[in-house]
């Protein structure tokens, strides 16, 4: 979660801070707000001091901590400029406050909220924007959005789900969380513990125990069938099906053996440790450029065939691929978590390279010696 956001407020007739100085205002005292500028009578004033008087009709550009937004939405006498909810929905609990980030490739980037007609198109309001390290001077509706921008969006759950499904946003958090439903929480915890214990005690496999656990979640009313269906990451399942099929195809058609023979012909004269080290290097570089799952699925049949061609055990090679495909430290796009912290942490692409590359290299060198020790050829 970002520490602060920039938004715009209008001082209404019934605001408690009418004709009151900034330093004594309820905005500062109760909401921890910092006022950047005041737009009054067509004039924009950036010189706002503690003694500046607030008047009805003033439009304030302010910095607000996210924790204050829910209270500010309900505060009497102030209107957040971005709040476009219909009057009939003002107290509708279906509107919630979400913190979202614009991911790489989002089609929302490059345009302003005004040009996108965001409020009309998605029936949602962008209340605040956070550029990575910049104070926004223009009107928020006219600011060109960028990859990595963080927005506070007031909208309905189905709208947020739609935006996520179209890869326009990634949700970081929801500020008005639902109250804990202990009637559902306790059975959910017990079922989860049961799934783990049954698998840990070898009473059945994790696949069977997890499926039974999921069924119990529905039968006990913890989840509805529709909620369970929505929770399934179908894109991950289909991606895994695709890459595993590709790996199987390489093995069945002899492609993996052909690649293995090529590697063996070029590296066969070297010690097996050197070959393992090169396999490890290729795997972690590939992981940071494409996907760990795809790399593992493609490399596994290749290294098995390579080990057969070299007449040695395939176990150290598979262990090398397993560890190498976990080294997702070098790029912000190598793993979803990296992408999510990229903007909130104000990181640069080079930060991942500077800190991730040494980590990968240290692990690579260590693994080249340690893996053959525990898993001999």
Q: What is the pLDDT of residue 88?
A: 44
The two tokens of residue 210 are: 């997890």
Tokens 């069945």 found at: 252
Residues 6+ apart with CB under 8 A from 267: 274, 275, 278
| Residue 304 CA: distances (Å) to CA of 205, 223, 308, 372 | 26, 42, 6, 16
At the fourth CATH level, which superfamily is domain 83-177? Answer: Regulator of K+ conductance, C-terminal domain (3.30.70.1450)
Detail the DSSP E strand segments found in 324-365: none
Tokens 């500028």 found at: 37
Q: What is the pLDDT of residue 239?
A: 58
The domain ranges of the chain are 1-81, 83-177, 182-232, 253-374
Would you say domain 1-81 falls under CATH 3.30.300.20?
no
> How many whole angstroms separate alpha carbon 136 and alpha carbon 145?
11
Q: What is the pLDDT of residue 91?
A: 46
Q: What is the DSSP string of 354-372?
A: HHHHHHHHHHHHHHHHHHH
pLDDT < 50: residue spans in the chain? 1, 88-91
State pLDDT tens for residues 222-259.
888 887 887 776 765 675 676 667 667 766 777 666 76
List beta partners, residue 20.
Answer: 54
3-state helix, strand, coil in the chain (%, to 5): 50, 15, 35
> How many whole angstroms separate alpha carbon 69 and alpha carbon 77?
15
Same fold, 1-81 and 83-177: yes
State pLDDT tens for residues 86-125.
554 444 556 788 888 888 778 888 888 888 888 888 888 7
The two tokens of residue 241 are: 């099906």
């Amino acid at each position: 979660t970002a520490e602060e956001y920039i938004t715009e407020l209008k001082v209404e007739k019934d605001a408690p801070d009418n004709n009151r100085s900034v330093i004594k205002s309820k905005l500062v005292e109760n909401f921890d707000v910092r006022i950047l500028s005041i737009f009054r009578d067509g004039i924009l004033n950036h010189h706002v001091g503690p003694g500046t008087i607030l008047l009805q009709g003033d439009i304030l550009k302010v910095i607000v901590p996210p924790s204050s937004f829910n209270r500010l939405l309900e505060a009497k006498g102030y209107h957040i400029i971005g709040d476009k909810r219909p009057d009939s929905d003002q107290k509708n609990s279906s509107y919630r406050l979400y913190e979202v980030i614009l991911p790489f490739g989002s089609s929302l980037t490059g345009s302003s909220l005004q040009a996108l007609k965001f409020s009309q198109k998605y029936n949602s309001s962008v209340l605040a924007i956070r550029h990575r390290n910049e104070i926004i001077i223009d009107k928020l509706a006219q600011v060109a959005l960028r990859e990595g921008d963080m927005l506070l969006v007031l909208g309905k759950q189905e709208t947020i789900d739609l935006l996520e499904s179209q890869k326009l946003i990634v949700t970081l958090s929801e500020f008005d969380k639902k109250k804990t439903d202990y009637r559902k929480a306790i059975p959910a915890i017990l079922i989860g513990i049961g799934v783990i214990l049954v698998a840990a005690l070898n009473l059945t496999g994790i696949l069977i125990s997890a499926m039974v656990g999921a069924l119990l979640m529905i039968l006990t009313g913890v989840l509805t069938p529709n909620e369970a269906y929505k929770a399934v990451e179908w894109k991950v399942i289909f991606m895994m099906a695709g890459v595993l099929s590709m790996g199987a195809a390489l093995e069945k058609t002899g492609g993996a053996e052909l690649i293995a023979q090529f590697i063996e012909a070029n590296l066969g004269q070297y010690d097996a440790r050197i070959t393992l080290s090169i396999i490890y290097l290729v795997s972690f570089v590939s992981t940071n450029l494409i996907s760990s799952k795809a790399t593992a699925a493609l490399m596994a049949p290749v290294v098995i065939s390579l080990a057969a061609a070299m007449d040695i055990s395939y176990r150290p090679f598979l262990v090398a691929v397993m560890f190498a495909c976990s080294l997702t430290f070098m790029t912000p796009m190598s793993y979803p978590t990296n992408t999510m912290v990229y903007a909130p942490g104000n990181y640069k692409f080079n930060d991942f390279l500077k800190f991730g590359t040494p980590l990968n290299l240290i692990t690579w060198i260590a693994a080249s010696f340690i893996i053959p020790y525990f898993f001999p050829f």
